[in-house]
Chain A
């Protein structure tokens, strides 16, 4: 390649690595196993708990969003944790980096591949979820219309509106978007951990701990910021936890969305912004570690 035509930053090169990573990941058996279980769980929720329509929709939505949350989080960690160690094992990393490909582009491409995989998974699961929800909604609507055949038209319309309101609301989309952002954050953090980890198992174990600590971080922060709440050693420890770990509880809005709580647009935007901020920061940190890593 002519050195004068070589650009320091190339979207084309990143895209090539992204596509390659995505292809690699979609060939993983674990991806299909996880996706199958998530889809099975979402699909089977249609047969679960034949209760009243309101309970049924709530259980259906809970299971669907819960499955998405579990699946995307596990996939983000498992898929990202193996990227660098696998490339090292297969020696493909040497082939790539021996070419004029900056390490930053390699990392960006790898992360973009995982994010694309997560996006695809979320789209597939959301599509199935909305199909299942729609099928149940139509069934309940026709049942309600049949049962209330003799009632005045106004009462029938009110009952049908109640069914529609219980089934789909636009906040579900916000919930799904936040689940996706949380998974992206986990992927970015896993990439950072994997830049200094020696094996993918180590990265996965670290991430499991980070996941739990991240969900407790909010409590640690509240205690740390409270005056006279604890001794200095406890405070120092809680402070360290609050500073080093992301607060993953902030991304758990789906529980409230399912029960019909409206999420204000400002809160949604702030949550997405915070998630994006984390993703970029951990990616930069991963690059800082990977930049001079001896391979």
Chain B
């Protein structure tokens, strides 16, 4: 009896000693966004009781992958509602996986939106366009939430830039997000060029676009790609840049 009590007391004393260490370590996890998942009732409703228990027991990534593969199958079957639902679960479970946010946005803004526009079951074009724009908005929402969870990763800024450029034809916002992506570590070299290209399409910002393009051009042969040269030429003509300051003609 005394021995059992002593063991129990040792456990409690050890617990009191380890508590600050565990608390500090948990705080470090939160600071590093390692515990980004909110295990609330909403998540349980989304992924079901079994999935919730599995996710709680340290098998979050396995549950997440199973849901991701289900989402992939749903996409192959063009079940867009299910794709949306599954990607909401996937991104909730693994908010630090940039790839899942990117894929979710791509499915919504590119695939589901295209399917909505060519939906034969809906004879009215206005409603098809409305559905298409709703899918654009869903894609944008995924990317914005993804950025909130991963502010230090360039991929989602770039994806949002692409969404603004290709779907909303909003070059101003596209330029802004490509530029944000370019500033982050690990960004591909084309992000800064994309930002300048988009800026060249913005009314009233031609001068700024020209300066960006020229800066890139001055970096050397590496940056002098056909699109950059074409954009720069267009800006030179638009801004009536003196001949002496213009770049040499390189396009056929």
Contacts and interface: CB of A to CB of B under 8 A. Distances in A.
Interface of A: 48-49, 51, 54-55, 58-59, 62-63, 65-66, 69-70, 73, 154, 158, 162, 211-212, 215-216, 218-219, 221-222, 225, 242-244, 246-256, 258-261, 264, 267, 270-271, 274, 277-278, 281, 285, 288-289, 292
A267 B28 contact: yes
A222 B23 CA distance: 8
A127 to B, nearest CB: 21
A215 B58 contact: yes
A62 B10 contact: no
A131 to B, nearest CB: 20
7 contacts: A66-B59, A221-B26, A244-B12, A247-B25, A247-B26, A254-B61, A274-B22
Contacts of B61: 62, 65-66, 254-255, 258
B54 to A, nearest CB: 10
A246 B21 CA distance: 11
Nearest to A271: B25
A255 B94 contact: yes
A82 to B, nearest CB: 22
B26 A158 contact: no
Given A211-B57, A288-B10, 11 more contacts: A63-B62, A221-B23, A222-B26, A243-B16, A250-B25, A256-B34, A256-B96, A270-B25, A274-B18, A278-B18, A285-B10
A185 B72 CA distance: 37
Interface stretch (B97-105, B119-127, B170-178): B97-105
B103 A55 contact: yes
B179 to A, nearest CB: 19
A164 to B, nearest CB: 13
Contact of A158 (B11, B16, B32, B188): B188
Given A59-B68, A243-B12, A288-B10, A261 B62 contact: no
A162 B189 CA distance: 12
Contacts of A242: 15, 19
Nearest to A261: B96
A58 B64 CA distance: 11
Nearest to A250: B25
Interface string B4-48: 001100111011101101110110110011110001000000000
Given A63-B62, A215-B56, A250-B26, A243 B7 contact: no
A174 to B, nearest CB: 13
Given A49-B72, A55-B99, A261-B96, A289 B7 contact: yes
Nearest to A243: B15
B150 to A, nearest CB: 9
Given A212-B56, A252-B60, A270-B25, A219 B39 contact: yes
B41 to A, nearest CB: 13
Interface residues of B, number: 45
B18 A264 contact: no
Q: Give the most central of A63, A66, A222, A225: most B CB within 10 Å.
A: A66
A213 to B, nearest CB: 11
Interface in B164-209: 188-189
Given A59-B65, A243-B11, A261-B34, A215 B97 contact: no
A63 B35 CA distance: 20
B222 interface: yes
Contact of B7 (A219, A252, A288): A288
Interface string B57-78: 1111110110011001000000
Contacts of B18: 246, 274, 277-278
Nearest to B222: A154
Lowest 9 CB-CB distances: which A-B pairs, in order?
A243-B15, A66-B62, A62-B61, A259-B97, A255-B61, A252-B58, A62-B65, A247-B22, A259-B96
A225 to B, nearest CB: 7
Contacts of A243: 11-12, 15-16, 19
B231 to A, nearest CB: 18
B60 A255 contact: yes
B11 A285 contact: yes
A244 B218 CA distance: 65
Given A59-B65, A158-B188, A261-B32, A285 B57 contact: no
Contacts of B34: 253, 256, 261
A7 to B, nearest CB: 27
Contacts of B56: 212, 215-216
Contacts of B97: 58, 258-259
A272 B65 CA distance: 27
